[in-house]
Amino acid sequence: MSRFERLFGRKGVPNDEQPRLELAPLCEALTRRRPALERKDVEPLLVRARLADFHRDHGLEPVPPDTFTTLCESLDAEGWRRLALVTGVLEEGAVGPVVVSVARTRGVLPLVREGFADFAREARLLTLELLGQSPLRLEELARRWAQALGAGFQGESDEESAQRLARLDYAKLLKEADRAKRAAEARQEKLKKLREEQDARLANRGKW
C-alpha cells in the first residue's frame, strides 16, 4: 500500500473503515514510557520477542526472527529506542487492538516493516530526549507512527490528520530556521559592507 493510500484510503475503500487511534491516550502512553528509555541501551532480541508475543497473543503469525533482524539492521541506538517505545505502547488498551486491526488488514510483515522498522529509522530527528522537551514533538511522533501503521485518528478526517502532521514537521521547521538564519547573516553582511563603503567615502572627503 502506498503512503498516499495510507493517508487517504485505497480506491473503493471508504475511509471510515480505516482503524483509528485515540490521540490523547496514545500521547499519554508515550509520555509515561519515554523516560525509562531515554538513555537506555535497548536489547534488540527483547524488542523482537515483545513484538512477536504481541502478534501471537492475538492469533497472528509473527515475522521470522531473521526477517525482523534484516528489517532492523540499519537502526542506530536512537532508532532502537523509538522502536522499543512504540512496541511498549502496544500493551495499552487504547492502542493494541487498533494495531491488531491494522495487522489483519495489511498483513504482519508490511506492518512490521513500515509501521515499526521503517518508522523507527525515518523519524531520526525525533530523539527521545527531544520528545521530553516538547509536547508538539511527542505529538509529531505519535502522528508519524499512525501514518506509518496506516491508521487514522478518531475525530479527524485523514486530510485533517495529514495537514496537522505537515504543520508539526520538525525537519521543515529546522530548514525554515536555517533559511531565516542565512538570510539574517546575509543582511548583516550587506549592512557591514555598506558601513565600510560609507566610512571609506567619509574618510576620502576628510582628506580634502
Those residues of the chain that have pLDDT short of 50 are 1-14
Relative orientation angle of helices 135-149 and 158-168, to the nearest 10 degrees: 140
CB 106 within 8 A of CB 1: yes
Give the pLDDT score at 200. 65
Share of the chain above pLDDT 70, in %: 75
Strand partners for 152: 20
Q: What are phi and psi of 132, to 5 degrees?
A: -75, -15
CB 168 within 8 A of CB 130: no
Segment 8-43, tens digit of pLDDT: 444 333 455 789 999 999 999 999 999 999 999 999
Relative orientation angle of helices 44-57 and 96-106, to the nearest 10 degrees: 80
pTM, whole model, 2 decimals?
0.77
Q: Helix (H, G, I), strand (E, B), or coil: what is residue 153?
A: strand
Give the pLDDT score at 185. 58
Segment 164-177, tens digit of pLDDT: 999 998 767 766 55
Residue 172 cell numbers, joined: 521543515
CB neighbours (10 Å) of residue 29?
21
b/e per residue 42-62 (b: at least 16 CB within 10 A):
beeeebbeebbebbeeeebeb
H helix intervals, the chain: 3-8, 23-37, 44-57, 65-71, 77-88, 96-106, 108-112, 119-122, 128-133, 135-149, 158-168, 170-206
Give the pLDDT score at 170. 72
Strand partners for 21: 153
Give the pLDDT score at 10. 41
